[in-house]
Chain A
Amino acid sequence: MTTTDISALAAALRAVLGDAQVISDRQELRTYECDGLAQYRVVPALVALPRAAADCAATVRACVDAGVPFVARGSGTGLSGGALPHADGVLIVTSQMRAIREVAPADERAVVEPGVINLQVTRAATPHGYYYAPDPSSQQVCSIGGNVAENSGGAHCLKYGFTTNHVTGLEVVTPDGDLVRLGGRAPDTPGYDLLGAFVGSEGTLGIATEVTVRLVRLPESVRTLLAAFPSTDEAGAATSAVIAAGVVPAAIEMMDALAISAAEAAVRCGYPAGAGAVLIVELDGPAAEVDAQFADVERLCHDNGATEIRVAADDAERALIWKGRKSAFAAVGRISPDYIVQDGVIPRTALPEVLRRIAEISARRGVRVANVFHAGDGNLHPLVLFDDSVDGQAEQAEEVSGAILDLCIEHGGSITGEHGVGMDKAKFMPRMYTDDDLDTMQLLRCAFDPRGLANPGKVFPTPRLCGEVPGRRRGVHPLQQAGLAELF
Chain B
Amino acid sequence: MPDDVLDALRAAAGGRDAVRPADPGDAVAGVPPRYIAAPGSTGEAAALLRAAAARDLAVVADGGRTKQDWANPPRRLDLLVSTRRLTGVVEHAAGDLIVVVRAGTPLTELRAKLAPAGQQLALDAPLPPGGGGATVGGVVATNTSGPRRMRYGTARDLLIGITMVRPDGVVARAGGKVVKNVAGYDLGKLLTGSYGTLGLITECAFRLHPVPTARAWLRRRAGDAAEAGRLAAAVLASQVVPSALEVDATPDGAPEVAVLLEGTPEGVAERVATTRRLLDGGTAADDPPPWWSAYPWRTGDVGLRLTAALSGVPRLLAAAGDAHRRHRLPLAVRGSAGTGVLYGGLPGAARPEAVAAVVADLRAATAAVGGHAVVLTAPAAVRERVDLWGPVGGLELMHRVKAQFDPDGRLAPGRFVGGI
Query: Does A182 have its Cβ within 8 Å of any Cβ on chain B?
Result: yes
User: A433 — which chain B residues lie within 8 A by C-beta?
Assistant: 173-174, 183-184
User: A184 — which chain B residues lie within 8 A by C-beta?
Assistant: 370-371, 393
User: A107 — which chain B residues lie within 8 A by C-beta?
Assistant: 309-312, 370
User: B395 — which chain A residues lie within 8 A by C-beta?
Assistant: 191, 488
Let me know if B172 and A436 touch, CB within 8 A. Answer: yes
Let me know if B174 and A448 touch, CB within 8 A. Answer: no
Query: Does B308 have its Cβ within 8 Å of any Cβ on chain A?
Result: yes
Q: Which one of A186, A197, A439 has the highest number of Cβ atoms from chain B below 10 Å of its Cβ?
A: A186
Let me know if A443 and B405 touch, CB within 8 A. Answer: yes
Query: Does A124 have its Cβ within 8 Å of any Cβ on chain B?
Result: no
User: B307 — which chain A residues lie within 8 A by C-beta?
Assistant: 186-189
Q: Closest CB-CB distance, A248 to chain B, in whole Å? A: 7
Q: Closest CB-CB distance, A440 to chain B, in whole Å? A: 4
Q: Closest CB-CB distance, A311 to chain B, in whole Å? A: 19
A181-B393, A349-B96, A448-B397 given as contacts; is B180 within 8 A of A157 (CB)? Answer: yes
User: A421 — which chain B residues lie within 8 A by C-beta?
Assistant: 182-184
State the CA gap A192–B418 with chains docked (Å): 11
Interface string of A93-107 (1 = CB under 8 A from B): 000000000001011
Count A interface residues, CB 8 Å.
92
Interface residues of A in 286-325 (CB under 8 A from B): 286, 288-289, 291-293
A219-B239, A448-B397 given as contacts; is B180 within 8 A of A378 (CB)? Answer: yes
Query: Does A165 have its Cβ within 8 Å of any Cβ on chain B?
Result: yes
Let me know if B404 and A443 touch, CB within 8 A. Answer: yes
Query: Does B148 have its Cβ within 8 Å of any Cβ on chain A?
Result: no
Q: Interface on A for B, CB 8 Å cutoff?
A: 104, 106-109, 129, 150-151, 153, 157, 161-162, 164-165, 174, 180-182, 184-194, 196-197, 199-201, 217-220, 240, 243-244, 246-248, 285-286, 288-289, 291-293, 345-349, 374, 377-379, 412-421, 425, 429, 432-434, 436-441, 443-448, 459, 470, 473, 486, 488
| Partner of A190 from B236, B240, B370, B417 at Cβ < 8 Å | B417
What is the interface residue range for chain B against chain A? Answer: 35 or more
Interface residues of B in 374-420 (CB under 8 A from A): 374, 389-390, 392-401, 403-405, 416-420
User: B396 — which chain A residues lie within 8 A by C-beta?
Assistant: 473
A180-B393, A377-B179, A436-B172 given as contacts; is B143 within 8 A of A286 (CB)? Answer: no
A189-B393, A243-B95 given as contacts; is B180 within 8 A of A440 (CB)? Answer: no
Q: In the complex, given contacts A194-B401, A201-B185, what are 16 additional A-B residue pairs having Cβ atoms less than 8 angstroms apart?
A: A108-B236, A109-B309, A180-B393, A184-B370, A186-B307, A191-B416, A193-B156, A196-B192, A200-B182, A286-B239, A286-B270, A288-B264, A291-B266, A292-B264, A432-B176, A440-B166
| Partner of B305 from A188, A217, A377 at Cβ < 8 Å | A188
State the CA gap A107–B372 with chains docked (Å): 16
By beta carbon, the residue of chain B nearest A292 is B264
User: B194 — which chain A residues lie within 8 A by C-beta?
Assistant: 192-193
Let me know if B183 and A153 touch, CB within 8 A. Answer: no
Let me know if B394 and A194 touch, CB within 8 A. Answer: yes
| Partner of B187 from A190, A432, A441 at Cβ < 8 Å | A441
User: A244 — which chain B residues lie within 8 A by C-beta?
Assistant: 95
Let me know if A436 and B170 touch, CB within 8 A. Answer: yes
User: B310 — which chain A residues lie within 8 A by C-beta?
Assistant: 106-109
State the CA gap A447–B404 with chains docked (Å): 6
State the CA gap A164–B417 with chains docked (Å): 23
Query: Does B27 have its Cβ within 8 Å of any Cβ on chain A?
Result: no
User: A473 — which chain B residues lie within 8 A by C-beta?
Assistant: 396
User: Can you list 23 contacts pairing A with B, beta carbon distance less than 8 Å?
Assistant: A107-B312, A162-B182, A164-B189, A186-B308, A187-B340, A188-B145, A191-B392, A191-B418, A193-B190, A194-B190, A196-B156, A197-B190, A248-B209, A288-B267, A291-B266, A291-B267, A349-B95, A418-B180, A420-B182, A433-B174, A433-B184, A446-B404, A447-B401
Let me know if A246 and B212 touch, CB within 8 A. Answer: yes
User: B211 — which chain A residues lie within 8 A by C-beta?
Assistant: 246
Let me know if A441 and B174 touch, CB within 8 A. Answer: yes
Let me know if A189 and B372 touch, CB within 8 A. Answer: yes
Query: Does B82 have its Cβ within 8 Å of any Cβ on chain A?
Result: no
A174-B397, A292-B264, A436-B170 given as contacts; is B311 within 8 A of A347 (CB)? Answer: no
State the CA gap A184–B187 with chains docked (Å): 20
Q: Closest CB-CB distance, A126 to chain B, in whole Å? A: 14
State the CA gap A348–B96 with chains docked (Å): 6
By beta carbon, the residue of chain B nearest A150 is B182
